[in-house]
Structure 1
Amino acid sequence: MFRFTRFPYPSFRRIRHILVVWVIETIALLLLEKWLPGLTLTSGEAAILGVAAIGLLNAVLRPILLYLTITITVLTFGLLSFLLNVVIVILAAEIVPGFSIANNGTAILVVLGITLINTLVTNLLSLDENDSYYRSVILRMQKGIAPPKNKTAHGLIILQIDGLAKEILDFAIESEYMPTLKKWQSSQKYKIQGWDCGLPSQTSASQSTIIYGKNEDIPAFRWYEKENQKLIVSNHLNDTALLEKRFIKSESLLSDNSSSVGNMFSGGAIKSAITMSQIYSMRSIPTRTGYLYNYFLNPYNFTRTLFLMIIEFFREIFQSLKQFFQKRPKIRRGLLFAIERTISAILLRDISTHLVIEDMFHGYKTIYCTYVGYDVVAHHAGIKSPSALGVLRGIDKQINRIHKANRLTKRDYHIVLLSDHGQTQGLSYRQRYKTTLEQTIHNMLSNQYRVVDAGDSKEIKGYVNSILIEALKPYERMNHAAKKLYQQIKQKTNEYHYFDFPTEPLPQQKDDIVVCTSGNLALIYFNFSTHTLTLEEIVLKFPHIVQSLIQHPGIGFVMANTQYLGPIVFGKDGIRYLESNQIDGQDPLLNYGKNASYHLKKLIKQPHCGDLVINSKYDPSSQEAPAFEDLLGHHGGLGGFQTHAFLAYPAIFTTPNEIVDAENLHHVLKDWQTRLNQLMKDL
């Protein structure tokens, strides 16, 4: 028995919408016939029937073809979906009299032309891209679900904007880059406050603590475990899974009927999509389709995302060339970054929004989603650059779409926005001093010891891995073959890879020194001992290293543990004893925030913290600090906006006056969940 779909507006409007799209695409086809020599239409009737045939074939064949090819569709980031449209246009030309296409190249141009004209005209007619998204995506998801009259269940949506500092958020709101948030704040329905994310100021440490309420051993983005000579990197899928195993038995924000979308950690959620720690245990994914099937099934999603990705790619090319000629801090932005930006700022963003809205209609109690685009772009373009602010404008639209979808869901979702950390900006250490930290230490030791750099950050790689391996999961043989093939390619190029191969083995000689950099924070490991060394043990072998480091103009302070006095922070003109808070000379932590001492004491107690902790020098007058990696915007240590995260929440909730680390924020969010549960019981 068939059930007719109930829409939240009268059926004649739905019919009118179909007719309008039909007319637009018919006109588009007639226009293309004038411009494309390989396209022939003998009459207007042929154009009308041609568009009708394309629509019918799309409705009938697309779900079947996509079901059979979803893995390759995801691996090609939707390109195969585009080629399916080309095949359908060719089939329509074979069926409809008076409609012919000379070759495959013409068919590709027809699909591109119809899509472009349709997208432009429908957006112009709706005057609002969000309204077009509402009609074309959200109402499709609501298909068969009656609009709720009274909502008796509550839910929480947590949207994390990776790397966005409170100060940059304020600027974006004031400058009209985020009109949705500005409207909410102006109406006094929402409050925005800053919070101190602490150390290390990076996603794996911050998000795991927000979700689980504790960070027992994530001292940086990457670190070295001396006892087994293993490098741990936060965005390597095997390492991310290993990290979550340390917490997974603990209660989290996502323990009860929850969903994780686009995160590093799942929190034990019953559904995890594009979540790095859970890629190898996605048992709930349907065998041949996966969570991404519905996204690519909707033609609007595909066409819109395709053109936005093309636009974003060329926007990056233009903006990078423009920045190259400007007299301001910059780093090289090549073709690989243009691809990274396109994936993170458009594809991952749009897929994440689709999955969040889908999960809302499924009624998950808590949904936690991360948008990574701003962080990726700010690393290369700058924290307040037009490129980065443009990404925030796009994220603001996603927030509005989720808000609109909330009107149609059975749960009353309360939307909370937060960031896991901020970013600080400045010319890199290499740009300023024409050398790396690894080379600096090597020179200080008169080239007598081998100093090994553990590599730099490629945060977006982990999320791309998540999409690729999630698509390949049902096909173990293909997965193995793809890895083997790509390994062969990698051996020739020795550059970028998007599968999770084992890290190159680190040196195992006792005289080796390992340098792990994370933004402007560096952990130094002396390999002559398997335990964490005290200052006394370090100076016995390297008597001048600490003094040499703090005299360098790019080093702000150096921290080491002592046998009897606890952790000590050394600056160029002073020393601070963290246990007693005694200061000799000028306080080396003066420019690094009022909670710097508290955060450093917590950091050095972590089991795999470095023997030495180095933080680059922050200049409060310019608000800049150099990263030890080749990044313009960076985070990981102390100084500037990188620890200045934000929290935006409905005014019905309350918070303490000060939130000093992610553990405090976890308890705040947990209290809100408890309050919503109580509201449900009262109803």
Structure 2
Amino acid sequence: MISRITARVRWLRRVLNRTRLASRLLGVRRPSGEAEHPGLIILQIDGLSRNQFERAIADGNLPFLAKLMRRGHFTLENFYSGVPSTTPAVQGEIFYGVRAAVPGFQFLHRASGQVMRMYEAESAAVIEDELCRRGEKPLLEGGCGYSNIYRAGSTLSRYCSQDLASAEIIRRVNPLKWLILGVVYLPKILRMAGLAVLEFVIALADAVKGLYERENVLTELFFVPARVVVCILLREAIRFRILLDIERGAPVIHGNFLGYDEQSHRRGPGSAFAHWTLKGIDSAIRDIFRAGDHSDYRDYEVIVHSDHGQEHTIPYERKHGRDLHAAVTEVFSTGSLAGVEVWSRRPAELLGNTVGRFRNLVGMQSEGVEDGSPHPERQIIVTAMGPVGHLYLPQDPGAAELEKYALDLVKAAGIPLVLLPQPDGGVKAFNGRGEWSLPGDADKVLGASHPFLEEVTRDLVTLCFHPNAGDIVISGWDPEGQPLSFPMENGAHCGPGFEETRGFLLVPDRIRRWHHARMPATGTRVRGEDLRRIALHFLGRDGTREERVAERLRTGRELPLRVMTYNIHSCVGLDGKIRPERVARVINHFDPDIIAVQEVDCHRLRSRGLDQAQLIADHLRMTHVFHAMFEEQSERYGIALFSRHPFTKIRADFLTEADPRVFREARGAIWVKVEPEGGKPFHFINTHFGLGRNERMRQAEELVSERWLGSVPPDQPVVIAGDFNSGPRSRALQPLRQRFRDVQLAAPGHVPVPTFSSLCPVVRIDHVFVSEHFAVEGVDQPLSPVARIASDHLPLCAELILR
């Protein structure tokens, strides 16, 4: 155990030293001191559905995330993408709070008359400009973004859609810097080269398989280098940039790993090739998580999520023997629109976004544009990049003829679902089983077993009325058969399907508490706007404290109370370093309301003369009280209590005083009455018992006497926390057990955990006791490398509800 932890520390030190050297070469300044506010890193695994995520966990393709889930660091939840289930729409909701920012990945922008493809720099810039006017403040303001659609207010963005223009790349290249970095990162570069070669070999095997399955030869060969760039080089570049951002203390970072999504488009979401890429993504997340966990400047937390999933699809052309352009042309060859030219912007092979992103990244022009620029006033415009498409008509043929065209699209063209918005705000839906109305016939159109049936129906209706939606909306979704996608791809997303709308979200325990208490309306799912609220709250940008208190009073919901006890060992870690800020970081991990700490130094020479209680309180942004057990001139040593709620100190005194003949040192307690705003008051006592059995029994008797707990009326709630230097069955704790409950025994389904020593916990001597007024919701204990090394004790945190 010790050798494993020591090896990990050495590895992490090498990574951090290399990152710091790189940051100097790139002119990145490492800030001094400590940040007042925590930092947030949001990592997106593009296109990975909840079901495929669980399969990857079971198959061992995400070992680091699986380990964090086993340890209870992450809670797994459903992430609902909304409709369209595509990255530009979901990121618009997360970054700006705007639902359905776009009606698809490709669509006609009616105001400009241009067809937008959202991986193109110009398209992303136009839509983001609209989001800035319509939405709220961008989430990444002052932070960094990588491989996203939008810059979202970030001061530094790389590999986003707007960054892929060749002019942007040329402007940013500094050959000398990259040459020096190449020398510094030579081992890493060699590893990346090895991975690229391996990926290239796998890609060639994949290409051979594609040729065997009669795919297009040139497409298969072109996909090989594109796949290496997007799945390997881009991933490593994102990892490197985020490590630099952690070094310089960026407040919020969002990175999007594209490899799985790109592979899924080509070979399907369940393919071995797609799941292979998850191992590299998991490795990148591991490095980022550990670097954030060991940041000297800012206290980071990590959220991992997918923006959507993917459906396993059949390409429309493969099933029907002709492409969508030809089918639409045939349908509109009769009636009032007969003779009107059909325009579509369609590559012969559309491999997800991989080829398009690759062309943009290297500054190549897009190919496959047919008939030049569109003319909406005299052409039928078809946009269908994925399993959702839009048909824009140059004139209104009338309701009856429009319905006839819709029926022909289903029967003659073989399109699974056709939608027509109605003047009354509803939508007529046509599929192979008949004509239906939305939202009333949602089960007939979308499937009765859809996990988000009510919400996805509402979003699909809203999509049909989007300002940039087509006059006719088409979809490849069929709840009773395998869905279609209009490009040549075996995995797709954008529509209302079971898999494509159901992503996943890994919420850290520190954030989960607030999320579940404040947002119960989300039920079994979180969507983009909810994730935005969670992030804004964590970053302290969701309004004033008074507004949050008013919300609690208005809704009548009680937040769980988190109490913690922690012997901080004078902030001296097992590595010998005196680090109050590291102790505060361990405490902050659980976002507690009240913390009882023991062994606190104040102005002692042995701990560099620091006022440790004040430093920790400043870092936590909490009020505190300190009581000295030992005092000699200006040096003091004792216990402290921190609280985010107002409190009144009732007593801070000795339980037994120092007496060389009996007790080696004085022991005492701090007693406060906590008065949460809008909540019920309760008593809280922090104590630290002695090492001898007889003195501990004396101290326990004094604590329950009329001078202390004996004077508290039976109808008033009490919490006692501290280092009792006694096991749970010891005689010293009997007076407390007779009146109060041990939270580790009261928590449902919890197996009591030891707290000492931190490196290898074997004894349970730190305790939290509560009166019958509290329900114990859970007990937590951090097992991170930082917690194991920050002190010789592990903290103990209990989540309580005051009944």
| TM-score tier (shorter) | 0.5 to 0.7
Amino acid in structure 1 at the alignment position of 2:529: E
Matched, 1:259 2:144: yes
Q: CA deviation at 1:242?
A: 1.4
Amino acid in structure 2 at the alignment position of 1:537: G
Find the aligned partners of 1:235 and 1:389 in 2 and give their Cα distance. 23
Alignment of 1:167-186 (within 5 A): 167-186=51-70
Q: CA deviation at 1:301?
A: 3.1
Change (3 A) 1:375 1:553: same
Q: CA deviation at 1:198?
A: 1.4
Matched, 1:557 2:448: no
Matched, 1:588 2:411: no
Matched, 1:164 2:48: yes
Change (3 A) 1:293 1:641: farther
Judging by fraction of residues, say which structure has more helix.
1
Secondary structure of 2:446's match?
A: coil
Find the aligned partners of 1:184 and 1:364 in 2 and give their Cα distance. 24
Which one of 127, 141, 150 corresponds to residue 19 of structure 2?
141
- Other-structure match for 2:511: 653
Amino acid in structure 1 at the alignment position of 2:307: D
Change (3 A) 1:619 1:131: farther
Secondary structure of 2:148's match?
A: coil
Contact 1:254 1:266 in 2 (8 A): no
Which one of 149, 154, 158 corresponds to residue 269 of structure 1?
154
Amino acid in structure 1 at the alignment position of 2:257: Y
Q: CA deviation at 1:570?
A: 2.5
Secondary structure of 1:560's match?
A: strand
- Other-structure match for 1:42: none
Which one of 534, 538, 541 corresponds to residue 668 of structure 1?
534
Alignment of 1:358-377 (within 5 A): 358-377=244-263
Q: CA deviation at 1:550?
A: 2.8
Secondary structure of 2:244's match?
A: helix
Which one of 583, 602, 621 corresponds to residue 682 of structure 1?
621
Q: CA deviation at 1:563?
A: 2.7
Secondary structure of 2:66's match?
A: helix
Change (3 A) 1:291 1:284: farther
Find the aligned partners of 1:348 and 1:132 in 2 and give their Cα distance. 27
Find the aligned partners of 1:367 and 1:290 in 2 and give their Cα distance. 27
Query: Which digits, 9 at most, give the CA deviation of each residue in 1:256-308, with x for residues without a partner?
Result: 43111222211111111222225679799878469967754522232222221
Q: CA deviation at 1:241?
A: 1.3
Q: CA deviation at 1:462?
A: 5.9
Change (3 A) 1:577 1:665: farther
Matched, 1:631 2:489: yes
- Other-structure match for 1:355: 241
Find the aligned partners of 1:583 and 1:543 in 2 and give their Cα distance. 18
Secondary structure of 1:637's match?
A: coil
Which one of 375, 387, 390 corresponds to residue 508 of structure 1?
375
Find the aligned partners of 1:287 and 1:346 in 2 and give their Cα distance. 20
Q: CA deviation at 1:404?
A: 2.2
TM-score by length of 1: 0.68
Matched, 1:544 2:404: yes
Find the aligned partners of 1:255 and 1:271 in 2 and give their Cα distance. 10
Matched, 1:454 2:333: no
Contact 2:429 2:435 in 1 (8 A): yes
- Other-structure match for 1:78: none
Find the aligned partners of 2:376 and 2:138 in 1 and give their Cα distance. 43
Amino acid in structure 1 at the alignment position of 2:162: S
Task: Percent identity, please.
Answer: 22
For these two proteins, the number of residue pairs brought into alignment is 517
Contact 1:331 1:631 in 2 (8 A): no
Q: CA deviation at 1:515?
A: 1.2
Amino acid in structure 2 at the alignment position of 1:682: R
Alignment of 1:70-89 (within 5 A): none
Contact 1:331 1:380 in 2 (8 A): no
Contact 1:258 1:269 in 2 (8 A): yes
Amino acid in structure 2 at the alignment position of 1:218: V
Higher-RCO chain (CA-CA 8 Å, sequence separation at least 6): 1
Change (3 A) 1:615 1:253: same
Find the aligned partners of 1:291 and 1:463 in 2 and give their Cα distance. 25
Contact 1:153 1:412 in 2 (8 A): yes
Q: CA deviation at 1:675?
A: 8.3
Q: CA deviation at 1:230?
A: 1.5
Find the aligned partners of 1:220 and 1:291 in 2 and give their Cα distance. 39
Unaligned runs of 5+ in 2: 516-521, 546-590, 592-618, 623-803
Secondary structure of 1:406's match?
A: helix
Contact 2:31 2:249 in 1 (8 A): no
Secondary structure of 2:500's match?
A: helix
Q: CA deviation at 1:548?
A: 1.6
- Other-structure match for 1:310: 197
Query: Which digits, 9 at most, give the CA deviation of each residue in 1:601-642, with x for residues without a partner?
Result: 22122111000111114245x6x3111110001111122311
TM-score by length of 2: 0.58
Find the aligned partners of 1:292 and 1:209 in 2 and give their Cα distance. 36
Q: CA deviation at 1:323?
A: 6.3
Change (3 A) 1:544 1:150: closer
Q: CA deviation at 1:161?
A: 0.8
Change (3 A) 1:295 1:625: farther
Amino acid in structure 1 at the alignment position of 2:398: E
